[in-house]
Amino acid sequence: MNRPVSEEHELIRQVLKGDQPAFQRLVERYQDYVFTIVLRILPSREEAEEVAMDVFLKVYQSLRSFEFKSKFSTWLYTIAYRMAIDRVRTKQFPIQTLDNDERFLQVTDREAKGPEARVASQDLQNALRNALERLKPADAGLVSLYYLQEKSVQEVSEVTGLSVSNVKVKLYRLRSELRAILEQQLRNELSDLL
């Protein structure tokens, strides 16, 4: 969503003056973006659709608080991320991080040399899903933002409200935690085989 900031800001100014079609243009421009964000965190399309609609309602109601210091997409992303995390917390279901984004350590058919490699790749994806489900929703969200959505540490900081150094520390800790979870899963599987 790399739109010129001035173009985004002009649309927002029009909305603030009461131009409803300008808000519709913002929604059309960013609806897929918002839906993708929340779908990576929430367990179902239905939940994601509901939260995405709520995000735009909140954006409309809060647009006067937008300070024009940052990109609108960053502000919007922050609202979407936080509303999705809030929904996870209130509904008490596990965060989704890989079911909807198979890029995470996926070996494509071209890269897989045979059936064994494809099975190993699928096993790795399943192990990663299981490991991420064992993290707290906010932690899994950090992993999703940085590794799956390829946001920079600075962008993750802006979205989550954490300092840059705190994001770095948390990502370091989460990598260690995921490694430990995966190693334990591997040990369990090996002991089952032997």
Per-residue confidence at 186, pLDDT binned at 50, 70, 90? confident
Looking at the domain assignment, is residue 104 inside a domain? no
Sign of CA dihedral 79, 83, 85, 86: positive
- Position 189 scores a pLDDT of 76
Do 65 and 130 have their domain in common?
no
**For residue 37, how many C-alpha atoms fall within 13 Å in the half-sphere facing its CB?**
28
Please say if the pLDDT value at position 93 is more than 80. no
Q: Does the structure show a pLDDT above 60 at 55?
A: yes
CA gap 189, 19 in Å, rounded: 60
- 102 within domain boundaries: no
Pairwise CA distance, residues 49 & 34, whole Å? 9
Query: Are residues 85 and 135 both part of a single domain?
Result: no
Q: What's the rounded Cα separation, in Å, for the pair 2 and 8?
A: 10
Residue 83: pLDDT over 60: yes
Per-residue pLDDT tens over the stretch 137-171? 778 878 877 877 778 899 888 888 889 999 999 99
Residues 157 and 89 in one domain: no
Domain range for 149: 118-194
For 13-27, write each residue's pLDDT tens digit.
Answer: 999 999 999 999 999
Distance between CA 62 and CA 164 in Å, rounded? 26
